Structure 1
């Protein structure tokens, strides 16, 4: 029985992994037939003797699984998985729109920054053209730049993207 079917019963859940175990947990979940998303960002690392491009998780220690509620035990019994994320005493699910927005951000060539700073809500906007077309978020000024904030409320973090004012629709 495949667990990655697109039905109304499946939801996206953020899952906390053991430290630096995101990729191994991702592979183990794929092997189990579970639909999983791990946003990776390419980063240049500096060692004492060399530099190397590596792919690192955009949000450290988090991966996202799309499962039916009765598959939670199977996810928890996967090597590298620590726990589901709870909010108000219940396992939290993420809206599919947030996962799609995250995938859209990752597919763009823009530089992304994840922050856990508590930023104040701003003007709601939608991007009207370019690789992030239809992405919604908040307009903010951060470090003297006009940027789009995509808030992942269930994780307590946000993703900041620099965006040209000409690509923004305000509503």
Structure 2
């Protein structure tokens, strides 16, 4: 289904409306892709494996420019994503790479913020939970170096970047 008029576009959905918007797009005959990951949810009486969006409030549509209005008239769709004043599009290879990555069933984490060296952070989990720190470096997603403010030294921690977040002033 390669056609030069058709491109993959990321669209932003209303909060928690990704699956419903995806299903409605398919009902309209629009090719769409909603990357899902499996996670274990814990309730007081049971655990359950559920599929939730890999990237909250995003899905991808494969359309021509003349179908953009139809996508916008879909329940749950909030807007197209813009980059440099134009509607952003993605190469087919990126969508295929994302599908391949999800097919491996490896543990994936998506972060909604971009952490940089020198930023003040707070540790959300683990033995240093609640501590304020300065991010010195990220060696990979599982090894970070923090300067712990209360202790006055830097420490390399084997933990996920998901366990820290920027400190809001």
Structure 1 residues without counterparts, runs of 5 or longer: 121-139, 146-159, 161-171
Measured in 2, the distance between the counterparts of 1:142 and 1:119 equals: 11
Confirm or deny that 1:86 pairs with 2:82.
yes
Larger Rg belongs to? 2
Measured in 2, the distance between the counterparts of 1:59 and 1:67 equals: 20
Measured in 2, the distance between the counterparts of 1:88 and 1:114 equals: 23
Measured in 2, the distance between the counterparts of 1:64 and 1:141 equals: 28
Structure 2 residues without counterparts, runs of 5 or longer: 117-138, 145-160, 162-169
- State the TM-score, normalized to the length of structure 2: 0.68
1:7 paired residue number: 3
Confirm or deny that 1:58 pairs with 2:54.
yes
Pick aligned residue for 2:100 from 80, 99, 104: 104
* Structure 1 residue ranges, 4+ long, deviating more than 4 angstroms after superposition: none
1:50 to partner: Cα distance: 1.8
Matches within 5 A, 1:120-159: 141-144=140-143
1:110 to partner: Cα distance: 1.0
Measured in 2, the distance between the counterparts of 1:143 and 1:106 equals: 19
Three-state SS of the structure 2 residue aligned to 1:12 is: strand
